[in-house]
Amino acid sequence: MQDQLIHCLTRLVQINSVNPDLSTTGQGEREIAEYIHHHFQLLEIPSEIHTVIDDRCNTTAILAGEDKDRILLLNGHIDTVGVEGMDDPFTLKKSGDRLYGRGTYDMLAGCAIQMALANYFSQHPCPITLVFTFVADEENMSIGMEHLVEYFLPVLSVKPFLGIFLEPTEEHIGISHKGFAWFEVEIKGLAAHGSRPEQGVNAIFPLSYALKELETINQELATEKPHPFLGHATLHPGLISGGSAQSVIAAHSKLNWERRILPGDRQEKLDGELQRVISAVENANGDQKIVGRQIFSRPPNESSDNKLIRKLKQAAGDKDYCGMSYWADSALAAQAGIPSILFGPAGHGAHAVDEWVSAGSLIDTYEAIKKFILDLGD
């Protein structure tokens, strides 16, 4: 089975599935979606390609098991980040236990595991129905998962009892992960010649008050009771822009920040933090004007420990539960009423030039999910 897994991963890595919204080297997910679709066709498992927009595509497949009314959702994203700075990123290279290449760890390995599970259960009895899903654009705006939730999941005969999202978790069961929100404030001043600042209103100086307030909020978050698996909520400034020339008093500036959200964080709290930043600028010296808004958000996810998840935990070697600081598409499945967890192989270097996944962990993760599925027939 290891040879089959590595074969699938080799072919997946060979296909350029870089997200085109993140890098000019990206071509979209159509080619990799078609390859996966062909894999299921060869196994005579009904499969479909779903065009989200242009060449941004999902692939789904349904393997009907002995119990048609018990559906397990398996999910992986087929887009990757860019390959800048990498040497031959679309060729899988093996060094000891490490399999190098773009997307090996995040998360084409999880997609290869799905394909290998389809191979096995196309030839052996499966006690439940398996729904395999491969989605576009997780690395950016998750339009693939949004499309899946809106158009594919509602037409299933019953709602899946669990979703396993094969993100890299070092073979631990990820029962929670953070969400995030993006915020923006714009400060408007009045342009003037640099030699006559008294005739203008500088829109850049007030940014210092906004940054100071963000630093204070972040420090306060660090003193709150930590989540048992996720630690503290955090925020960080991500973008600053403003001005038109060095010799001109800046008439405009903009500050963007990201807030990482814990399960239980209320929207009112986030709104209050934004208002604190706005007030800090409004109360500063000067005639500047400020507007602020939340521009995008994704929710956190947390699954309750239960008999079903404990069964998967046991199949995976009974490792401790964990929480992931990153966001994942599982939150959108959970919003749709499908309890969802993260579980995937060990490795290193998500989004980095030295990305790799452990070959041994690849097979261990496959075996754990296979055992979990078979145990559901007991």
Q: Residue 293: which CATH number?
A: 3.30.70.360
| Whether residues 97 and 48 fall in one domain | yes
| Whether residues 30 and 71 fall in one domain | yes
Domain end among 265, 298, 331: 298
pLDDT in tens, 280-291: 999 998 999 999
| Whether residues 214 and 138 fall in one domain | no
Q: Which is nearest to 221 in space by CA: 212, 232, 230?
A: 232
| Whether residues 147 and 183 fall in one domain | no
Look at the chain and report how many structural domains it folds into: 2
CATH number for the domain that contains residue 347: 3.40.630.10
Looking at residue 1, its pLDDT comes to 77
Q: DSSP H helical segments within the chain, as ranges?
A: 2-14, 30-42, 109-121, 143-147, 207-221, 267-282, 307-315, 330-335, 359-375
Mean pLDDT of all residues in 173-189: 97
Q: Which is nearest to 312 in space by CA: 365, 264, 363, 369?
A: 369
Question: 2 pLDDT band (50/70/90 cuts)?
Answer: confident
pLDDT in tens, 228-240: 999 999 999 999 9
Per-residue pLDDT at 29 exceeds 90: yes
Per-residue pLDDT at 217 exceeds 90: yes
Domain span including residue 189: 179-298
Looking at residue 76, its pLDDT comes to 98
Looking at residue 61, its pLDDT comes to 98
What CA–CA distance (Å, rounded) separates 289 from 68? 60
| Whether residues 287 and 215 fall in one domain | yes
Task: Please name the residues in contact with 339: beta carbons below 8 A apart, sequence gap of 6 or more.
Answer: 161, 162, 163, 303, 304
- Reduced to 3 states (helix: H, G, I; strand: E, B; else coil), residue 268 is helix
Looking at residue 378, its pLDDT comes to 78
| Whether residues 195 and 209 fall in one domain | yes
Please check whether residue 233 is in contact with residue 261, taking contact to mean a CB–CB distance below 8 angstroms. yes
Domain end among 247, 267, 298: 298
Surface-to-core class of residue 21, CB atoms within 10 Å of its CB (0-12 exposed, 13-18 middle, 19+ buried): middle
| Whether residues 270 and 304 fall in one domain | no
Domain end among 279, 298, 317: 298
Rg over alpha carbons for the chain, rounded to the nearest Å, is 24
| Whether residues 41 and 166 fall in one domain | yes
Question: 262 pLDDT band (50/70/90 cuts)?
Answer: very high
| Whether residues 7 and 108 fall in one domain | yes
| Whether residues 215 and 247 fall in one domain | yes
pLDDT in tens, 103-162: 999 999 999 999 999 999 999 999 999 999 999 999 999 999 999 999 999 999 999 999
| Whether residues 124 and 25 fall in one domain | yes
**Amino acid present at 172:** H
| Whether residues 160 and 239 fall in one domain | no
Q: What is the DSSP letter of 342?
A: E
